[in-house]
Structure 1
Amino acid sequence: MSETEPNAEALNAPLIPKIPPPAPPKPPTGRPVDIGEPPPGGGAPSSASTGGTDDAIVGEPLSASAKRRRRRNRGGGAAGGGAQGQGQSPAQGQGQKQGQGQGHKQGQGQSGRPPQGDATASGASKGAAAGSATGLGSSEPDTDGRSDGGGESKTQGQGQAKKGGSRNRNRSRNRNRAAQPVEAVLTDEDGPLDIDPKSLKKRQGKSRNGRAVGRYQMNVHVDSAGHTHIAVLEGRSLLEHYVSRPADDVSQIHGNIYLGRVENVLPGMEAAFIDIATPKNAVLYRGDITRDADDVEVADDARIEDVLKPKQLILCQVTKNPIGHKGARLTQEVSLPGRFVVLVPNSKTYGISKRLSDQERRRLRGILDRVKPEQHGVIVRTAAENVTSEEIERDVTRLLKQWEQIEALAAKQKRPALLYREPDMAVRVIREEFNEDYRAVIIDDAALHRDVHDYVSAISPATADRVQFYNPKAEKLPLFERYQITEQLRKALDRKVWLPSGGSLIIEHTEALTVIDVNTGRNVGSSSLEETVFRNNLEAAVEIARQLRLRDIGGIIVIDFIDMEIKPNRDELVRTFKEALARDKTRTQVFAVSDLGLVEMTRKRIGEGLLESFAEQCSVCNGRGVVLSSAVAGID
């Protein structure tokens, strides 16, 4: 075939893969490539180097069995022929360089990795080697690296590409199957246990005129963008709000378990950055590292650089979602939450919720002594009140099976991977919150309602009838508008909150902390100034506790109450504030009133708050809240 430039008709022709006639095999060009040999600079082997034992030397004659496999795989190779066959098109009509043109791109085809060996090089010998290694055939390039434009591609090279692509696809599917994380098992295959009528009656909760009566109500709304909004009402007042976005495998990963790889260790910070296969590396502090029971060489007080080494693979769990430019926070003390208990693998942790009565704690302690597994810790949750020993034992058994699956999956992985994924937001909130104190759970999405109803029917059959479906097409108002949730959410995004007596709160967020200022506003009182200030502060303390939960404010919080002269009034203020925070399941710590009248407190930050979920930084002031005046522009 003469070496000519392609004509206009050839350039405009569609890229249709063509199978050249069989030709005798050609001796290998360049250096032989062994199976699984990584390309220069590291990385995974290309599709041509992982085909099998008959492909050990690229370019050598195939055995009879290899030829049979090649013929069988031709159908699969042709099916994916868009990727494999198009790699020959530059050689047939477009005259691009063998390793750098479209053939190079198509050589990445199924595997998604660059071709092996000298596939990116130009020149006669390197171009031929690239053609063999990437499955582009053995078209003879000219002296400037162009293909001769003919149909000289060898059948062997094409067969290599087809087999390599087919096997690479199979290997990719197998890898994807192996990397699938363990999903939380929420129900048992055997169905719910038979519960005696006495225990069942205790869990049914109160009712009036055939309708359930409870302090709380949960409304779940799924919008057109796929966001799941969960609103918890106390009476008619919005108490908590959760939002789950479709991209929550990146931003909302709290509770997920990963196999992480240590990227670098910072002794000065007593921390390490861990790659957990998310866009941002996570951070693991020294205090969150657990020592392997079999590792007797590492002391409990060892420095972090003695415990963790770069490239080391570790099992870890996310305790705090990534926020802004900060990555997620990790711990090695893994825990698996169930409905009634929390399993703490490889731990001696043993405990029962303090929210339960002493009598109930004694009963549960006797059950826990019987069902507690060896080498693992168990914490009994508040939801275990009045449950039977069989239910607790089944919950422990289910969590043990999940942990065994996680360990088995971790043993197979050689790189960072997600091992366990927490269930959907709605199911998580139901698992953590729902009990007989809820009068209803109302959901406006049919599929989600079905999943939640099945879950509640399995864990709490006595309250399954409280899970209700709200049909937005049949109702006059959307779910959130009917219960005035949308209006309350808008108010919760404002910096100013009005108190019933006429006072107000000003809530300001900064990078370091959140500041709350209490004002009397229109509250002028009716007796003395001290009494007016005291009543205003008590009212503000209760509302601040609600706002912290509703806005999900975490970190350091400083509250500037109005100054009071009488010390018993200050003590009563702190007591009232702590009592209002007692119903908040997020860990809080409150300190005494300072000499300046400030109350300092902390609230555990798990993820982004309500404001961050619904707002974005202003493009004009870049989040400062002010714009420089025109007078500044005149300063030289």
Structure 2
Amino acid sequence: MSEELLINVTPHETRVAMVENGVLQEVRIERSTGRGLVGNIYKGKVVRVLPGMQSAFVEVGLARTAFLHASDVAVGEGEGRRNGNEQDIRALLREGQEILVQVVKDPIGGKGARLTTHLTIPSRYLVFLPGGHHVGISQKIEDAEERERLRAMVAAASEGEERGGYIVRTVAEGAGEAEVAADVTYLQRLWDSIHDRAAATTAPGLVHEDLPLALQVLRDMAGTPYERVRVDSRETYQRIREFAETFVPEMVELIEHYPGERPLFDLYSVEEEIQKALERKVELKSGGYLVIDQTEAMTTVDVNTGAYVGHRNLEETIFKTNLEAAQAIARQLRLRNLGGIIILDFIDMGDQEHRRQVLRALESALERDRARARICEVSALGLVEMTRKRTRESLEQILCEPCPTCGGRGSVKTTATVCYEIFREVLRSARQFDTRELLVLAAQEVVDRMLDEESASVAELEDFIGRSVRFQVEALYTQEQFDVVLL
């Protein structure tokens, strides 16, 4: 499988695209005015403790107070056990208390950032846990001897250090003793620096900021078999190479500067795919299609056969469509970065084996997704329920805002509905106020209907209230807006 990493840099925005076999699979965007907060460490002040929710609101210097649940509070000095559920939040925190916290979920919608006091500091091979004591190994490293070898190396490299524990990342498989030891030294120095800055910082305030997106992706994607990493900014290219020489030396030769006049993202049709990822409807090659609706509570995906009629029988047509949809859904979840609760409405299948194969195809396609996903069995209504970890805003939330005309509803009142609302408002005003004439200000489409299809109704209304009603077009009004002015 051919995998490439494309990095597009402008003064205001950095975009990273992950392309497999020429097809965009994932895109991440970071803007200079709104960088992601996940991984940042703050010195915060508890402003409110909520026993009923077993949580607290913490002021860390952001636009909205952040949220800290009892299960994310370390119990006791130096302990890294997540047993906050056994403790009352009032025994763990008090209002006015200053604490060191890390962002684990960006602010999304109207919600503040999600925090934890279980700090984690990643490097190339390891994740340092300042509050831990043990050495954990990634579950993806399955070889028992390799797991023990890595555990012994980390223990030896950190011998004499009583300041924390470690998690060995998947990419560390096969790593040498010197490389692991270098990571331990780097993490200890970084933690010392963070610890000193925390002591000097007045709450609320930022103590440690995670790497910018271009370097963060290189660190987190270490071990992914990329064929090349292409960067269209010479300055960023130099910075990435310097970072790679220190932390990811095996990727140095893969990094190249793209000097072409044609935009890098246009070369791989990334811009076109991003535009498609903002649409509700996703066309399948067979002629079927998906309809994706993202709401605050959950995301729903509906599968339809569309123009696909198959070649054998209805059951086979449905099965083929669902199999293709399973692959497309997995890609769309990554591409759009959809998280939380996700409901998949596959086309009903009577064959139990077909249902099992479609679920297996979905699970297989999701294995390439770095975000943790969990699929439940098919519900009594024939729906597949699943969850996908959400740590940052979706592509739509980053690039779009609610429609100013419909307010995010996705529909507007018809001209007929608005006309009847105007009739009621005119009648109400005529009864309440003594006036010679009434002037209605409305959008062009509404006024056109009033003077055409509803002209007879307008004449009847004027006779009933004994006053004339005039209409005036307001170019800036939306279809739903109108005003009744007394003259």
TM-score normalised by the chain length of structure 1: 0.63
Equivalent AA in structure 1 for residue 372 of structure 2? R
Match of 2:232 among 444, 458, 478: 444
**For 1:453-602, what aligned pairs fall within 5 Å after superposition?**
453-471=241-259, 475-602=260-387
Percent identity of equivalent pairs:
40
Question: Does residue 334 of structure 1 match 2:119?
Answer: yes
Equivalent AA in structure 2 for residue 613 of structure 1? I
Match of 1:227 among 9, 13, 18: 13
Superposition deviation, residue 276 in structure 1 = 0.3
Is the 2:138–2:168 Cα contact (8 Å) retained in structure 1? yes
Is the 2:74–2:84 Cα contact (8 Å) retained in structure 1? no
Q: Secondary structure at the match of 2:215?
A: helix
Q: 1:294 to 1:571 in 2, by over 3 A?
A: closer
- 1:393 corresponds in structure 2 to 181
Question: Does residue 615 of structure 1 match 2:393?
Answer: no
Moved more, 400-409 or 556-565: 400-409
Match of 1:303 among 70, 85, 88: 88
Is the 2:135–2:151 Cα contact (8 Å) retained in structure 1? no
**For 1:149-188, what aligned pairs fall within 5 Å after superposition?**
none
Question: Does residue 216 of structure 1 match 2:3?
Answer: yes
Question: Does residue 321 of structure 1 match 2:106?
Answer: yes
Counterpart CA distance in 1 for 2:301 and 2:162 is 48
Superposition deviation, residue 452 in structure 1 = 0.4
Q: Secondary structure at the match of 2:53?
A: coil
Length, aligned pairs only:
415
Counterpart CA distance in 1 for 2:115 and 2:258 is 39
More strand by share: 2
Is the 2:71–2:85 Cα contact (8 Å) retained in structure 1? no
Match of 2:37 among 222, 246, 253: 253
Question: Does residue 244 of structure 1 match 2:30?
Answer: yes
- 1:127 corresponds in structure 2 to none
Superposition deviation, residue 299 in structure 1 = 8.7
- 2:471 corresponds in structure 1 to none
**For 1:99-178, what aligned pairs fall within 5 Å after superposition?**
none
Counterpart CA distance in 2 for 1:329 and 1:560 is 30
Q: 1:485 to 1:330 in 2, by over 3 A?
A: same
Is the 1:220–1:229 Cα contact (8 Å) retained in structure 2? yes
- 2:152 corresponds in structure 1 to 366
Counterpart CA distance in 1 for 2:122 and 2:134 is 14
Counterpart CA distance in 1 for 2:248 and 2:117 is 32
Question: Does residue 408 of structure 1 match 2:201?
Answer: no
Counterpart CA distance in 2 for 1:461 and 1:495 is 42
**For 1:281-300, what aligned pairs fall within 5 Å after superposition?**
281-293=65-77
Counterpart CA distance in 2 for 1:588 and 1:319 is 17
* Structure 2 gaps, min length 5: 425-487
Moved more, 606-615 or 372-381: 372-381
Q: 1:456 to 1:327 in 2, by over 3 A?
A: same
Is the 1:436–1:463 Cα contact (8 Å) retained in structure 2? no
Superposition deviation, residue 466 in structure 1 = 1.0
Superposition deviation, residue 415 in structure 1 = 2.0
Counterpart CA distance in 1 for 2:119 and 2:250 is 32
- 1:627 corresponds in structure 2 to 412
Superposition deviation, residue 231 in structure 1 = 0.6
Deviations 1:408-436 (A, max 9, x none): 22222342111110011010001111436
Superposition deviation, residue 324 in structure 1 = 2.1
Counterpart CA distance in 1 for 2:251 and 2:202 is 45
Q: Secondary structure at the match of 2:299?
A: strand
Deviations 1:261-294 (A, max 9, x none): 0011111111111000111110001111111237
- 1:271 corresponds in structure 2 to 55
Is the 1:341–1:381 Cα contact (8 Å) retained in structure 2? yes
Equivalent AA in structure 2 for residue 364 of structure 1? L
- RMSD between aligned residues: 1.8
Equivalent AA in structure 1 for residue 371 of structure 2? T
Is the 2:71–2:84 Cα contact (8 Å) retained in structure 1? no
Deviations 1:117-166 (A, max 9, x none): xxxxxxxxxxxxxxxxxxxxxxxxxxxxxxxxxxxxxxxxxxxxxxxxxx
Superposition deviation, residue 348 in structure 1 = 3.2
Counterpart CA distance in 2 for 1:312 and 1:561 is 50
Q: 1:376 to 1:487 in 2, by over 3 A?
A: same
Superposition deviation, residue 300 in structure 1 = 6.9
Q: Secondary structure at the match of 2:208?
A: strand
Deviations 1:350-403 (A, max 9, x none): 322222341533432332332344341211112212221111111011111111
Q: Secondary structure at the match of 2:329?
A: helix
Is the 1:218–1:232 Cα contact (8 Å) retained in structure 2? yes
Is the 1:590–1:601 Cα contact (8 Å) retained in structure 2? yes
Equivalent AA in structure 1 for residue 71 of structure 2? G
* Structure 1 gaps, min length 5: 1-213
Q: Secondary structure at the match of 1:248?
A: coil
Counterpart CA distance in 1 for 2:179 and 2:78 is 33
Counterpart CA distance in 2 for 1:253 and 1:507 is 27
